[in-house]
């Protein structure tokens, strides 16, 4: 059972790379951004609560994000996990397609988009203690800022995300520098931080990530 955080600025490619790594290494992919966007799309009470926050490019409150992670860890799967994640969960736990899932399975998980503040790091440690889990590694995807802006602009041309406008992009990067970048220092002190070069094409970055992941999964 491994717990791995994939870290990076907006546009670093966390979502794309987390999906690829989850498929290759049979991990559950927990994306807080996707969870929140799904809540907004379904117009749930939580979605209505956070919609304007996300549209402005602000960070959603620590309590909301941590509660989503806690719920996922409690149930192993829930309405926020898609069909592919359930298939990975079954493979990771050695469960057949027609067998019921256990109440509290312990698969390996890659966390995408969480934690985003130092307080979330501290809350995650407390949560892991309760769930008898431990953090194995934090992998940071480092990309120059000018490339980040270019990538997000490219993504905005093909996505329907309301948080990919010019104004919101700039604000999200400012939020990252002010509130999320300190997470790197937090994990650097613990010795669990690994940084990789995320510039260039997706396959290049994925090759570097896989080399790191193979070492982590073998420990």
Residue 129 predicted with pLDDT over 50: yes
Peptide bond into 119 cis (omega under 30): no
Residue 60 predicted with pLDDT over 80: yes
- Among 56-65, 72-81, 131-140, 207-216, where is mean pLDDT lowest? 72-81
The whole-number average pLDDT for the span 93-121 is 80
Q: Measured between alpha carbons, how far is 91 from 85 in angstroms, rounded to an integer?
A: 10
Handedness of CA 112, 117, 76, 64 (dihedral sign): negative
| Half-sphere exposure of residue 3: CA atoms within 13 angstroms, side-chain side | 16
Could you give the domains of the chain? Answer: 3-218 (3.40.50.300)
pLDDT of residue 183: 93
Categorize the per-residue pLDDT at 95 as very low, low, confident or very high, splitting at 50, 70 and 90: confident
In terms of Cα–Cα distance, which of 19, 135, 143 is closest to 73?
135
DSSP string, 204-215: HHHHHHHHHHHH
The whole-number average pLDDT for the span 82-95 is 68
The whole-number average pLDDT for the span 38-43 is 86
Residue 82 predicted with pLDDT over 60: no
Residue 33 in tokens: 């951004």
Q: Measured between alpha carbons, how far is 2 from 110 in angstroms, rounded to an integer?
A: 8
Choose between 194 and 104: higher pLDDT: 194
Q: Measured between alpha carbons, how far is 86 from 52 in angstroms, rounded to an integer?
A: 30
Residue 79 predicted with pLDDT over 80: no
Categorize the per-residue pLDDT at 187 as very low, low, confident or very high, splitting at 50, 70 and 90: very high
pLDDT of residue 63: 84
pLDDT of residue 50: 84
């Amino acid at each position: 059972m491994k717990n791995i955080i994939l870290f990076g600025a907006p546009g670093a490619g966390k979502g794309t790379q987390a999906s690829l790594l989850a498929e290759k290494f049979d991990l559950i992919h927990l994306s807080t951004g996707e969870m929140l966007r799904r809540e907004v799309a379904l117009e749930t009470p939580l979605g209505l609560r956070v919609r304007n926050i996300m549209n402005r490019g602000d960070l959603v409150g620590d309590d909301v994000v941590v509660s989503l992670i806690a719920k996922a860890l409690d149930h192993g799967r829930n309405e926020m996990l898609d069909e592919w994640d359930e298939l990975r969960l079954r493979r990771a736990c050695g469960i057949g397609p027609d067998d019921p899932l256990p109440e509290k399975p312990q698969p390996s998980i890659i966390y995408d988009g969480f934690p985003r503040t130092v307080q979330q790091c501290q809350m995650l440690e407390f949560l892991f203690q309760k769930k008898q889990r431990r953090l194995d590694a934090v992998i940071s995807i480092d990309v120059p800022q000018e490339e980040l802006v270019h990538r997000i602009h490219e993504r905005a041309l093909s996505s329907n995300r309301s948080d990919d406008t010019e104004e919101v992009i700039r604000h999200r990067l400012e939020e990252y520098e002010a509130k999320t970048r300190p997470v790197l220092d937090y994990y650097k002190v613990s010795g669990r931080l690994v940084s990789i070069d995320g510039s260039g094409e997706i396959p290049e970055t994925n090759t570097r990530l896989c080399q790191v992941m193979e070492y982590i999964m073998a420990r």
